[in-house]
Structure 1
Amino acid sequence: MTQPVITVTESAQAYLRDLLEKQSSPGIAVRIFVERPGTPHAECCMAYCPEGEQEADDVRLEFEGFHAFIEAASVRYLEDASIDFKKDSMGGQLTFRAPKSRVPDLHEDASLEERINYILYTEINPNLASHGGNVQLLELTEDNVAVLEFGGGCQGCSAVDMTLKSGVERTLKERLPELTAVRDKTDHSVTDNAYYR
């Protein structure tokens, strides 16, 4: 696995080192990961990671006085990421920038969830955008049912059933035969921005 290129500034390292030293758990580290990677809703996260709670495939980064673990599935989304700390009148703020975290990225061993998101954000959403709409994956169930939520012009649109069945569902199931069903969990009673009412 390639080493992620994450820049952690000196001020951020000092802040994290101080934060970790205040914890009662010896050997505690930080774990860095991306939730909903490759989507517009991606969020970069950092959490305490007590000794032994890291995953076997996590990538370990060494810093002066502490170490960090990067979730293996998040590595490619964290390339060129930077973590900084700026002091201000309220104490300061840790900032995390990861320009690739929201970029769809499909690789040979991509999970079904990653492949669904890739198709939604590279093929389906650009078409829905012409009506001011979008769709996102809320959940992938254990039996491979994709639970979706429509937004923008698709929420409350009278044509959303047709969009779901003949557009979104057909495309996803053709491209991903292991997908068993596609369900819409959108509250379509809200019609404020609907393309068709």
Structure 2
Amino acid sequence: MALVTVTDSARDYLAQLIEKQDVEGMGVRIFVTQPGTKHAETCLAYCPPNEVVPTDEKIDLEKFTLYLDHNSVPFLEEAYVDYSTDRMGGQLTIKAPNAKVPNIDENAPLPDRINYILASEINPGLAAHGGEVSLVEVADESVAVLRFGGGCQGCSAVSLTLKQGVESTLTERIPELTGVRDVTDHTYTENAYYQ
């Protein structure tokens, strides 16, 4: 399977834009800014020959070359570029489901796997309460040390959330984790969801 899928309509549209640039060998570069964070954005930019980076991965799309930023590659897995026409003209869309969190496997380092589960499964649920949780460190090789923020900090239900939600999800998904510790200062309750 191709790392990045570019539909025929998107290919034709981009080829037309490139033609207007009138630069020999112009390509398109795709990259992710702030990859692996909730602020990640997937971007397309013109890539003239003098801006090609040697580590870029190249995809020959016949009409032009698509360059994938090397550091963005894990976050571009399953990315999809499409162009659809409507009454207003048309719209180029880029979907990159793994931009915020790269798709990782069970052989990835423990902190990466913990962060993946926090970002993909736990934080979306906490976000409803304006909260989030992040990994501080892995202690004693098997204990995830977490910090709660936003509406979770100082929340009276946080120990319940930690034990039943976060800890059970993490230990179920990552068998070698023996426990979860919370280092948040919960005496600070200014933004807490439940006081």
Cα deviation 1:59-91 (Å, max 9, x = unaligned): 011112211100112222222221110011111
Query: Any conservation in 2 of the 1:11–1:85 contact (CA below 8 Å)?
Result: yes
Distance 1:19 1:136, change over 3 A: farther
Query: Any conservation in 2 of the 1:131–1:195 contact (CA below 8 Å)?
Result: no
Cα deviation 1:114-171 (Å, max 9, x = unaligned): x68x65564599489399312679xxxxxxxxxxxx54x15xx568xxxxxxxxxxxx
Specify the alignment match of 1:129 in structure 2. 126
Specify the alignment match of 1:23 in structure 2. 21
Q: 1:109: Cα distance to partner?
A: 9.6
The structure having more radius of gyration, on CA atoms, is 2
2: CA distance, partners of 1:131 / 1:195: 10
After superposition, residues 7-86 of structure 1 pair within 5 angstroms as 7-86=5-84
Query: Any conservation in 1 of the 2:75–2:102 contact (CA below 8 Å)?
Result: no
Distance 1:86 1:136, change over 3 A: farther
2: CA distance, partners of 1:25 / 1:61: 19
The number of residues matched between the two structures is: 155
Distance 1:56 1:25, change over 3 A: same
Specify the alignment match of 2:98 in structure 1. 100
1: CA distance, partners of 2:18 / 2:58: 16
Q: 1:6: Cα distance to partner?
A: 1.6
Deviates more, 1:123-132 or 1:54-63: 123-132
2: CA distance, partners of 1:72 / 1:18: 26
Unmatched tracts of structure 2, length 5 or more: 136-148, 156-187
Runs of 4+ in 1 over 6 A off after TM superposition: 107-110
Query: Any conservation in 2 of the 1:42–1:102 contact (CA below 8 Å)?
Result: yes
2: CA distance, partners of 1:10 / 1:102: 26
2: CA distance, partners of 1:100 / 1:63: 22
Cα deviation 1:89-129 (Å, max 9, x = unaligned): 1110011112222334568999xxxx68x655645994893
TM-score, normalisation: structure 1: 0.58
Q: 1:34: Cα distance to partner?
A: 1.5
Using the aligned pairs only, state the percent identity: 42
Unmatched tracts of structure 1, length 5 or more: 138-149, 160-187
2: CA distance, partners of 1:97 / 1:75: 14
2: CA distance, partners of 1:52 / 1:82: 26
